[in-house]
Amino acid sequence: MKKYIFIGLSILITACNIGVQPPATETISTETPLPTPLPATATETFVLTPTSAPTPEPPPLYFTDEFTSASPYWTFSQTGGLNTPITSYENDSLRIDISSPDTWMIAIHNAHTYNNVFIKTKANITSTGSFGLICRYNENGWYEFNIYSDGTYNLLYGQQLTEGVARYIPLSTEFSGHITPSSEIGLHCQDNFLLAYVNNNLVRRIDVTNYGLGEGQIGITASSVSESPVSINFEWVQVINE
């Protein structure tokens, strides 16, 4: 900023009485200079633009998710039911709370696709309901293995008809004494066969050649039946190269 200094100079000339002309006297008065204004201080204003958190690197092809925090690679969708299930991450687990009966939720891990793959999970159910695993999920359908709190299990071929509407074709429904409210289950998609495990016991092996699903994504399921509410807690999901 420019600086300005103002200096006033005035000359006063006085005259004496008539008839007497005293020597001319010159009086010089100098006004006190005005203070020099300080230059204005420039202040920078930063506008913070909100930025979304960067998407973390996808996990390797074969991995274990212990649900210590939320992952952007899980996509949740609902089939049936009046109320939307609530998902939360707590105590190093994925919790799914279902408040209405006959409500089905699936979660697809969309980072990778697989042909032959072995998926495992350990979960527990607080009341009646089910949880399960999915393999070869794609636009043509998927395979699904579920266990229920009453000791039964099923293998299904699922197809998405429209948003929120799915069609299931039963492939096998049985009872297994290996099923407990807290169980470790596995689904092995191997060529044209599905192999279902409960607590490390092979409970079913079934040929799915007629359905022709070659590859797709993996996932998990949680559902209520005729009673609610239901809470399912997934401790971990593991994807194995076998």
The 3-state secondary structure of the chain, one letter per residue: CCCCCCCCEEEEECCCCCCCCCCCCEEEEECCCCCCCCCCCCCCCCCCCCCCCCCCCCCCCCCEECCCCCCCCEEEEEECCCCCCEEEECCCCEEEEECCCCCEEEEEEEEEEECCEEEEEEEEECCCCEEEEEEEEECCEEEEEEEECCCEEEEEEEEEEECCEEEEEEEEEEECCCCCCEEEEEEEEECCEEEEEECCEEEEEEECHHHCCCCEEEEEEEECCCCCCEEEEEEEEEEECC
pLDDT of residue 20: 41
pLDDT score of 38 more than 50: no
Structure tokens at 10: 């005035």
pLDDT score of 51 more than 80: no
Question: Domain coordinates of the chain in residue numbers?
Answer: 64-240
Write down the pTM of the prediction. 0.77
Contact of 138 with 217, CB cutoff 8 Å: yes
The angle formed by the CA atoms of residues 75, 81 and 87, to the nearest 5 degrees, is 40
What are 177-213's pLDDT values in tens digits? 999 989 999 999 999 999 999 999 999 999 999 999 9
Least confident of 45-59, 68-82, 212-226: 45-59
Short-list 185, 222, 180, CA closest to 96: 222
- For the chain, the average pLDDT equals 83
Least confident of 3-17, 90-104, 144-158: 3-17
What are 65-76's pLDDT values in tens digits? 999 999 999 999
| pLDDT-derived band at 52, boundaries 50, 70, 90 | low
pLDDT of residue 187: 98
Q: CA-based diameter of the chain, in Å? A: 141
pLDDT score of 40 more than 50: no
Class of the 64-240 domain?
Answer: mainly beta
For 223-240, b where at least 16 C-beta lie within 10 A, e where not — what string? bbbeebbbbbbbbbbbbe
Short-list 107, 113, 117, CA closest to 188: 117
pLDDT of residue 29: 45
| pLDDT-derived band at 21, boundaries 50, 70, 90 | very low
Integer Cα distance of 119 and 217 in angstroms = 11
pLDDT of residue 27: 44
pLDDT score of 139 more than 90: yes
What are 222-236's pLDDT values in tens digits? 999 888 899 999 999
